[in-house]
């Protein structure tokens, strides 16, 4: 096959069009995810402060945020959007009692250190549906004691893209959800 200037220009034109189409698809997907996140609700309706941010702390990656507040123990924890409960775990050494929910666009939310879990695996849940209660189960700091059984009370909340993984695919909720700003 003989390649001339017209052939080269035609090939470059097709490559440019394909690149633009791919860029638009990627941009559209990101915009869609960001728009959906703006419509999510906060997992707590009580007053809280972020006591441990997303990112590295104590030499390890913290793939979520810790939400603490006065008298939060036992407060309701709400689903940030409709979805399906994909995992409920009781008495994990680290996360204690926790729930993972899969939402649209393969986004996952994690709610950890719960005192109680109200939902069950494979259950469809709606926006703002109660999934559990704030607690201090698992590995929390400071540790609860007999004298201070509510110590360490907080909700660890995490967001993950394309499946749950402790570090990989983690999304900073503060940057994506308006209720934390």
CATH code assigned to 42-180: 2.70.70.10
| pLDDT value for 57 | 87
| pLDDT value for 20 | 35
pTM, full prediction: 0.78
Instruction: For 53-167, list the strands marked E by DSSP.
Output: 55-57, 60-62, 65-68, 76-78, 83-92, 96-103, 107-117, 124-125, 130-134, 155-161
Which mean pLDDT values do the consecutive 10-residue runs of the chain (181 residues) have? 54 43 37 56 95 91 92 96 97 96 94 98 97 96 86 94 80 90 79
Task: Round the average pLDDT of the chain to a whole number and report it.
Answer: 83
Of 125, 121, 58, 132, the closest CA to residue 95 belongs to: 132
List, in order, residues 6 or more apart from 169 with CB less than 8 Å away. 160, 161, 162, 163
Question: What is the rounded CA–CA span in Å between residue 104 and residue 110?
Answer: 15
Residue 34 in 3-state DSSP? helix
Of 76, 73, 74, 97, the closest CA to residue 87 belongs to: 97
| pLDDT value for 157 | 97
| pLDDT value for 37 | 59
| pLDDT value for 127 | 95
């Amino acid at each position: 096959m003989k390649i001339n200037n017209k052939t080269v220009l035609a090939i470059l034109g097709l490559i440019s069009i394909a690149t633009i189409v791919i860029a638009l698809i990627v941009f559209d997907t990101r915009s869609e995810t960001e728009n959906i996140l703006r419509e999510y609700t906060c997992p707590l309706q009580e007053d809280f402060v972020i006591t441990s941010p997303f990112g590295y702390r104590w030499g390890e990656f913290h793939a979520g945020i810790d939400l603490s507040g006065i008298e939060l123990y036992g407060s309701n924890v709400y689903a940030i959007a409709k979805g399906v409960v994909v995992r409920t775990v009781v008495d994990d050494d680290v996360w204690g009692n926790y729930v993972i929910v899969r939402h649209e666009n393969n986004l996952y939310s994690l709610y950890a250190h719960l005192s109680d879990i109200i939902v069950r695996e494979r259950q469809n849940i709606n926006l703002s549906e109660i999934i559990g209660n704030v607690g201090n189960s698992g590995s929390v700091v400071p540790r609860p004691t007999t004298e201070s059984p509510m110590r360490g009370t907080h909700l660890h909340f995490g967001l993950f893209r394309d499946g749950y993984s402790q570090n990989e695919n983690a999304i900073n909720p503060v940057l994506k959800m308006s209720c934390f700003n």
